[in-house]
């Protein structure tokens, strides 16, 4: 290839690369650097320390991880339980009104904030469903926030999860299922032994994707989580550490850990569902 | 005839299930909408009224314009940058293409709060001149570039090279081919990216929240959040949230009417 | 009206030689076809001539001008693709005008040219149609009109009829031939269909696995295949491998002893006594000898194993001393052998071509 030929694609990509480098890779690197400083010393004279990370990996944060991942993983499972039949029906059974349902699937994308707000209104004392929790049952009151938060989170990540499962279902060669039927397997047997195993990568991918997006949820835990969740969700901690406690070092460290976990999870989900695009 | 009644039953179950789930998905939205339309009269009873929407005009609508302006600017810049980049990624083969794409993908995977934090630290420390409107634009164009890129990549992939080759054999140079053949044919696919970028950037909240403190600019979603944490669930606040959702919904519906769901498949929808 | 020469073209992808040292020439106004099975490199060769692919080795000349480094839009060619490449967002008129606009023709000339080419392809009045409103055959005709409009030096057609129905294919190929004759343009045509190539070409290049196997007129390729591939790709053949037993240089005839059969036939010089050769005998060239001639030199006795009636042909599988041969009977004779399994017959095998054995 001549020099000219090789330059053309790079010239076309240059603005995109420049933008990403300047406004993503540089800030993220700075974040990583800031995570190694003590409190807000990064802005003045940096005091280098590993204590932020030591803190995170110590017992002090074990509960936070538990709360965060507990909520996110259960929401991911809920997505699978609700989402698989949904994806199956959408790809296999529904012919009319397909576009309408597809449009409805876009709605949660509008924003986590509205989901949080809507549920907040529903369940908060004074709201229409709050009577469910006014029943003096202690367990209800203490936990009222968590199940609601979980449902809200599940709704938020629903489109992404369903998309993954759907793609995987669409990729299944129907003639394989038909052969199974011809060989004598009933529809349930076909489903369990043929269809389901072929979707497994997609299901795993969907589960991981829900977790990945859940890590970024912010409005839902803040508005809905109740005392426990709101304060202990890692994403909210990033915010509160930075802007309420002015501990930028700690906030950055949590941010870095969250980012690393999220990237790894998304990367694995990509591999699992073999979503190579380029 | 047993077969068809079994089918019927399955259809009923299918549609019911999908409707239930759809109801669940739409629940928060509907609740907000309903709340925004009820006003409590002095005597304690509630009634239907659109008054809350008018109450917010003075304080809220300027924020809406700001959000709109940010969204539109972001779209313009991202389209200008993303379309050529997608073209290069699909039509050319060069070393490191996969790595480059994986790296670009990384932007999307990092949780919003982490990215937002990294930005404000960087803005204070490095890009001091970004404290303001352009700080928002900078953050949003970078954050949403991948969305535009992915949609455009799908659009270019579905474009058979024979059209561009044909144009070339007929005598058209690269630029003419691009503007007269490639772009018109790929336009609808690109429009899907534009739609998604609009919806997501118009309603974007986390980065805006952090940037609000840095830039003193309050976008509409941030205003809603501030109001909620301050005053709970007044109808006027619901009206704010509902306004934003209605605008988003209107844009989506117009798009679907004009273009359909065809180009959203492969990126977001199954 | 241009002479095209592709000299020693090679294109290698990794370990695969898509095209290797191919040499192709199309004279002024000649209709040359590149024929071969899928993957043989014929499309790659055509695209190299068009400039859509850059060759790793070799050069392309249009009338002594070296165009190897020119991009397609500088070569003034007319390329027709396998799938219809009419721009869907433009109507027929705009499609045809596209190339003319790119070359800065005036509006008046564009109008004139459009009318002209539409009449050549017999699609007058279709100016305002959209491509989606055209049938496969109509679209392909407009496609041809579009490339003719710019007055290209050479026409390059890449399997243009593959996606057209069989019946229409028949008509269209002759139309293409007619248009080429009328406009006098040099044509390089690619196809995998031997019948198509034979019907319309002046000369044919047969390619296999990136290499040009043989070049010649349809008659030459049929009667004188020079490689085993060509012998089996063109028409049907019986292959009998053996050695040259006797040869008479004066008359260029001799006998081949192969698998229990003695074949008396024309043997080209290059095969000397004792050489291993393969005789290629076409099923339709094997004659069944009547009683009167059954004792003649070169007659071979055989027994019919199976007889298959195909309508215009009766195919016999015969056993000649252990070698199985296919014999095709055409004409009224074919009805005489309908249930002839087990019958003994005598064959005349002299009409065959001889090539070196692999």
Which ipTM was obtained for this model? 0.84
Q: Is C87 in contact with B181 (CB distance < 8 Å)?
A: yes
Cβ–Cβ below 8 Å for C79 and B176: no
pLDDT in tens, C110-137: 999 999 999 999 888 898 999 999 988 8
What residues of C are in contact with residue B163 (Cβ under 8 Å)?
85, 87
Q: Closest CB to B169: pick one of C72, C88, C103.
A: C72
What residues of B are in contact with residue C85 (Cβ under 8 Å)?
160, 162-163, 165-166
Question: Could you tell me if residue B15 is inside a domain?
Answer: yes
pLDDT in tens, A211-238: 998 998 888 888 876 666 677 888 888 8
B84 and B107 fall within a common domain? yes
**Sign, Cα dihedral of A131, A134, A135, A137:** positive
Q: No. of H helices and E strands in chain A?
A: 16, 0
**Three-class SS state of A25:** helix
Cβ–Cβ below 8 Å for B166 and C89: no
B6 and B94 fall within a common domain? no
B89 interface with A at CB cutoff 8 Å: yes
Q: Is A255 in contact with A238 (CB distance < 8 Å)?
A: yes
Cβ–Cβ below 8 Å for B149 and A158: no
B62 and B174 fall within a common domain? yes
User: From 3.30.1490.20, 3.40.50.1860, 1.10.3720.10, 1.20.1560.10, which CATH number describes the A61-272 domain?
Assistant: 1.10.3720.10
Q: Is A111 in contact with B206 (CB distance < 8 Å)?
A: no
B240 and B183 fall within a common domain? yes
- Report the number of distinct structural domains present in chain B: 2
Q: In this structure, what are the phi and psi dihedrals at residue B204, rounded to the nearest 5 degrees?
A: -65, 135
pLDDT in tens, B181-218: 998 898 888 898 899 899 999 998 888 988 887 777 88
CA distance B175 to chain C (A): 11
Q: Is B57 in contact with B240 (CB distance < 8 Å)?
A: no
CA distance B248 to chain A (A): 7
Confidence label for A274 from pLDDT (cuts 50, 70 and 90):
low
Q: Is B149 in contact with B81 (CB distance < 8 Å)?
A: no
Confidence label for A271 from pLDDT (cuts 50, 70 and 90):
confident
> What is each CA distance from B27 to A107, A129, A254, B32, in whole angstroms?
10, 13, 33, 9
The pLDDT value recorded for residue A46 is 79
CA distance B159 to chain C (A): 11
Q: Which residues of chain B fall below pLDDT 70?
A: 1-3, 44-45, 127, 129-130, 231-233, 266-270
Q: Is C160 in contact with C200 (CB distance < 8 Å)?
A: no
Mutate one of B98, B110, B124 to test the A interface: name it (highest A CB count within 10 A).
B110
Cβ–Cβ below 8 Å for A114 and B31: no
CA distance C311 to chain B (A): 42
B26 and B115 fall within a common domain? no
Cβ–Cβ below 8 Å for C99 and B163: no
Contacts of C152 (CB under 8 A, 6+ apart): C76, C77, C78, C185
Q: Is C188 in contact with C32 (CB distance < 8 Å)?
A: yes
pLDDT in tens, A112-137: 888 888 887 777 666 666 655 555 55
B32 and B69 fall within a common domain? no
Burial of B3 (0-12, 13-18, 19+ CB in 10 A): exposed
Lowest-confidence pick of A25-39, B2-16, C27-41, C194-208: B2-16
Domain ranges within chain C, ordered by starting residue = 4-231, 236-356
Does the structure show a pLDDT above 70 at A5? no
Percent of chain C, pLDDT > 90? 54
Q: Is A27 in contact with B119 (CB distance < 8 Å)?
A: yes
Does the structure show a pLDDT above 60 at A37? yes
Q: C-alpha dihedral over A100, A106, A111, A115, to 10 degrees?
A: 50
Specify the pTM.
Answer: 0.80
Which residues in B have their CB inside 8 Å of a CB on C?
A: 160, 162-163, 165-173, 176, 180-181, 184-185
Q: Nearest chain B Cα to A218, which residue?
A: B206
Q: Is B190 in contact with B259 (CB distance < 8 Å)?
A: no
Residue of A27, A123, A108, A124 lying closest to A75 (CA atoms): A108
Question: Could you tell me if residue B41 is inside a domain?
Answer: no
The pLDDT value recorded for residue B218 is 87
Report how far residue C10's alpha carbon sits from residue C24's, in angstroms, rounded to the nearest whole number: 12
B137 and B180 fall within a common domain? yes
Does the structure show a pLDDT above 90 at C50? yes
**Three-class SS state of B41:** coil
B23 and B57 fall within a common domain? no
Domain ranges within chain A, ordered by starting residue = 61-272
Cβ–Cβ below 8 Å for B170 and C52: no
The pLDDT value recorded for residue A225 is 66
Instruction: State which residues form the domain around B183.
Output: 51-264
Cβ–Cβ below 8 Å for A238 and B113: yes
**Residue pairs spanning A and B at CB distance below 8 A:** 270
- The CATH number of whichever domain residue B168 belongs to comes to 1.10.3720.10
CA distance A43 to chain B (A): 7
Q: If you average pLDDT over residues A165-187, what whole number do you get?
A: 85
What residues of C are in contact with residue B176 (Cβ under 8 Å)?
102
CATH of region C4-231: 3.40.50.300
Report how far residue A104's alpha carbon sits from residue C335's, in angstroms, rounded to the nearest whole number: 71
Q: Closest CB to B117: pick one of A31, A115, A267.
A: A31
Question: Could you tell me if residue B269 is inside a domain?
Answer: no
Classified by CATH at the fold level, domain C236-356 comes out as: OB fold (Dihydrolipoamide Acetyltransferase, E2P) (2.40.50)
The pair of three-digit structure tokens given for residue C302, joined into one six-digit string: 């055989």
What residues of B are in contact with residue A163 (Cβ under 8 Å)?
268-270
CA distance B98 to chain A (A): 7
Does the structure show a pLDDT above 60 at A139? no
B25 and B89 fall within a common domain? no
Contacts of A72 (CB under 8 A, 6+ apart): A153, A210, A211, A214, A215, A217
**Three-class SS state of C58:** strand
Q: Is C232 in contact with C239 (CB distance < 8 Å)?
A: yes
């Amino acid at each position: 290839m001549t020099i000219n030929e090789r330059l053309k694609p790079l010239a076309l990509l240059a603005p995109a690369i420049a933008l990403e480098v300047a406004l993503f890779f540089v800030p993220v690197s700075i974040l990583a650097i800031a995570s190694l400083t003590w409190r807000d010393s990064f802005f003045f004279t940096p005091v280098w320390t590993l204590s932020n990370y030591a803190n995170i990996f110590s017992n002090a944060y074990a509960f936070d991880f538990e709360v965060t991942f507990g909520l996110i993983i259960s929401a991911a499972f809920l997505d699978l339980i609700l989402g698989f039949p949904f994806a199956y029906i959408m790809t296999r059974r529904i012919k009319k009104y397909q576009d309408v349902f597809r449009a409805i699937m876009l709605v949660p994308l509008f924003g986590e904030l509205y989901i949080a707000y809507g549920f907040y209104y529903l369940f908060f004392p004074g709201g229409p469903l709050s009577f469910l929790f006014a029943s003096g049952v202690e367990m209800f009151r203490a936990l009222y926030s968590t199940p609601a938060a979980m449902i809200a989170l599940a709704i938020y990540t629903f489109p992404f999860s369903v998309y993954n499962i759907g793609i995987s279902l669409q990729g299944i060669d129907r003639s394989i299922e038909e052969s199974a039927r011809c060989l004598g397997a009933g529809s349930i047997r076909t489903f369990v032994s043929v269809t389901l195993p072929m979707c497994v990568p997609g299901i795993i991918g969907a589960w991981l994707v829900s977790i990945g997006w859940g890590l970024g949820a912010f409005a839902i835990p803040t508005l809905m989580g109740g005392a426990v969740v709101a304060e202990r969700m890692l994403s909210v901690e990033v915010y509160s550490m930075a802007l309420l406690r002015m501990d930028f070092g700690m906030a950055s460290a949590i941010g870095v850990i969250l980012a690393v976990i999220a990237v790894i999870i998304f990367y694995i989900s990509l591999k699992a569902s073999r979503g190579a695009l380029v | 005839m047993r077969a068809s009644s079994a089918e019927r039953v399955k259809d009923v179950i299918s549609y019911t299930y999908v409707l239930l789930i759809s109801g669940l998905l739409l629940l928060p939205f509907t609740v907000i909408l309903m709340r925004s339309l009820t006003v409590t009269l002095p005597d304690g009873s509630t009634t239907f009224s659109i008054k809350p929407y008018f109450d917010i005009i003075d304080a809220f609508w300027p924020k809406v314009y700001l959000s709109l302006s940010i969204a539109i600017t972001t779209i313009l810049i991202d389209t200008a940058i993303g379309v050529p980049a997608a073209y290069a990624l699909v039509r050319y083969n060069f070393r490191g293409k996969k790595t480059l794409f994986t790296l670009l993908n990384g932007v999307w995977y990092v949780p919003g709060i982490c990215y937002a934090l990294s930005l404000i630290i960087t803005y204070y420390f490095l890009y001091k001149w970004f404290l303001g409107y352009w700080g928002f634009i900078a953050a949003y164009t970078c954050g949403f570039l991948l969305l535009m890129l992915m949609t455009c990549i799908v659009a270019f992939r579905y474009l058979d090279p024979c059209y561009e080759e044909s144009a070339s054999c007929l005598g058209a140079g690269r630029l003419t081919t691009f503007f007269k053949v490639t772009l018109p044919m790929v336009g609808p696919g690109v429009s899907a990216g534009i739609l998604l970028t609009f919806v997501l950037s118009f309603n974007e909240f986390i980065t805006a929240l952090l940037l609000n403190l840095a830039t003193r600019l309050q976008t509409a979603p941030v205003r809603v959040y501030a109001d909620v944490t301050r005053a709970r669930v007044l109808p006027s606040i619901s009206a704010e949230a509902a306004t934003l959702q209605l605008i988003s919904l209107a844009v989506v519906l117009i798009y679907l009417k004009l273009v359909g769901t065809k180009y959203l498949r492969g990126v977001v929808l199954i | 009206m241009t002479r095209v020469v592709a000299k020693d073209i090679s294109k290698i992808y990794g370990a695969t030689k898509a095209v290797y040292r191919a040499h192709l020439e199309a004279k002024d106004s000649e209709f040359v076809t590149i024929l071969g099975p899928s993957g043989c490199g014929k499309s790659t060769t055509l695209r190299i001539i068009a400039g859509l692919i850059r060759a790793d080795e070799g050069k392309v000349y249009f009338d002594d001008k070296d165009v190897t480094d020119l991009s397609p839009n500088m070569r003034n060619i007319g390329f027709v693709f396998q799938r219809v490449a009419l721009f869907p967002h433009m109507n027929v008129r705009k499609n045809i005008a596209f190339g003319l606009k790119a070359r800065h023709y005036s509006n008046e000339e564009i109008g004139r040219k459009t009318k002209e080419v539409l009449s050549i392809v017999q699609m007058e009045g279709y100016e305002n149609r959209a491509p989606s409103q055209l049938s496969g055959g109509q679209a392909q005709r407009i496609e041809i009109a579009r490339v003719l409009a710019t007055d290209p030096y050479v026409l390059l057609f890449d399997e243009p009829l593959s996606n057209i129905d069989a019946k229409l294919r028949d008509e269209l190929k002759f139309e293409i031939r007619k248009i080429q004759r009328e406009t006098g343009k040099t044509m390089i045509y690619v196809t995998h269909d031997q019948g198509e190539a034979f019907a319309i070409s002046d000369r044919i290049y047969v390619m296999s696995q990136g290499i040009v196997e043989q070049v010649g007129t349809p008659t030459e390729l049929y009667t004188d295949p020079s490689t085993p591939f060509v012998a089996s790709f063109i028409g049907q053949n019986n292959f009998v491998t053996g050695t040259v037993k006797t040869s008479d240089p004066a008359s260029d005839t001799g006998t081949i002893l192969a698998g229990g059969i003695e074949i008396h036939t024309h043997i080209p010089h290059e095969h000397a006594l004792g050489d291993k050769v393969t005789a290629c005998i076409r099923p339709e060239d094997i004659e069944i000898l009547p009683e009167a001639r059954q004792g003649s030199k070169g007659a071979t006795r055989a027994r019919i194993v199976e007889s298959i009636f195909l309508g215009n042909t009766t195919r016999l599988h015969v056993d000649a001393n252990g070698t199985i041969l296919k014999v095709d009977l055409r004409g009224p004779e074919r009805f005489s052998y309908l249930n002839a399994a087990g019958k003994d017959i005598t064959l005349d095998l002299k009409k065959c071509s001889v090539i070196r054995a692999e």
